[in-house]
Amino acid sequence: MEGCEMSGFATKAPVIAFLHTSDVHIATFDALCDRLAPDLKLHHEVRADLLQDMTPGGCCAPGFLSGTRAVLTALAEPPTALVLCTCSTLGPLAEAIAEAENLPFLRFDRPMADAAVAQADRIAVMGCLEGAVHATGLLISDAARRAGRQIDLQTCCYPELWDLFCDGALAAYHAAIAEQLAKVAATTDLIVLAQASMAPALMPGTEIPVPVLSSPELGFRAALAKIGYAAHC
């Protein structure tokens, strides 16, 4: 695709390197690149194996940290300007490793958490994986602490819907999420989607009476700002 390289580092131009745990996110960020930064170069690294030894609470098997550190270090090599992790479950550990190793890194859901606590006191986190919901809830609590805000945090997990995603039934997956969004909206002032794969549920015509935040565009815009790139729109 024009302006975005999906593999390799065959360029001397600055690169944003993505660390994904599912290839479903590639098209989302390529589309954002086309719209917001058409002359920027992207590299997508898909490593679903990094999640295999993680529990919902974020515990991991021996060797996980060294393996993840090796992946992040390789991705951060020039000409990469920034590594962006798009997995909410992996994000906390990847962020800690990047800070310890002084790597150019952004956890893509942190801008969403900051925006959430700036906009509302009652916040609901929705997700289909317990690990993602747990990690996003902790991130929002941390954002509130940093901002000196008191929030009422609600978490909602729908593991049964994840089977639809895994089966490739994306239309049914997003329709089911939209249905749950309408229900949760009655109990909160703002909804945060814990997984990037949920974002297409906010399709045109979906009427939700409270703001719903999703991480892809917020995270990508924050990444552009972090490397000093002016988005086209």
Instruction: Count other Cβ atoms within 10 Å, centred on residue 30.
Output: 18
What is the spatial distance between Cα 29 and Cα 49, in angstroms, rounded to a whole number? 21
Domain extent, residue 193, equals 110-214
Q: Is residue 8, in this structure, part of any structural domain at all?
A: no
pTM: 0.83
Asked if 175 and 94 sit in the same domain, the reply is no
Give pLDDT tens digits along the chain (233 positions). 334 443 344 445 679 999 999 898 899 999 999 999 998 999 999 998 887 766 555 556 666 788 889 999 999 999 999 999 998 888 888 999 999 999 999 999 999 999 999 999 999 999 999 988 999 999 999 999 999 999 999 999 999 999 999 999 999 999 999 999 999 999 999 999 999 899 999 877 778 999 999 989 999 999 999 999 887 76
Residues 6+ apart with CB under 8 A from 12: 79
Q: What is the CATH number of the domain that holds 44?
A: 3.40.50
Q: What is the pLDDT of residue 64?
A: 73
Edge-to-edge strand list for the sheet holding 152-157: 152-157, 122-127, 190-193, 212-213
Provide the domain count of the chain: 2
Token pair 């090796």 is found at 70
Q: What is the pLDDT of residue 206?
A: 78
Q: Is residue 1, in this structure, part of any structural domain at all?
A: no
Q: What is the pLDDT of residue 13?
A: 60
What is the spatial distance between Cα 196 and Cα 44, in angstroms, rounded to a whole number? 15
What is the three-class DSSP state of 148? Answer: coil
Q: What is the pLDDT of residue 137?
A: 96
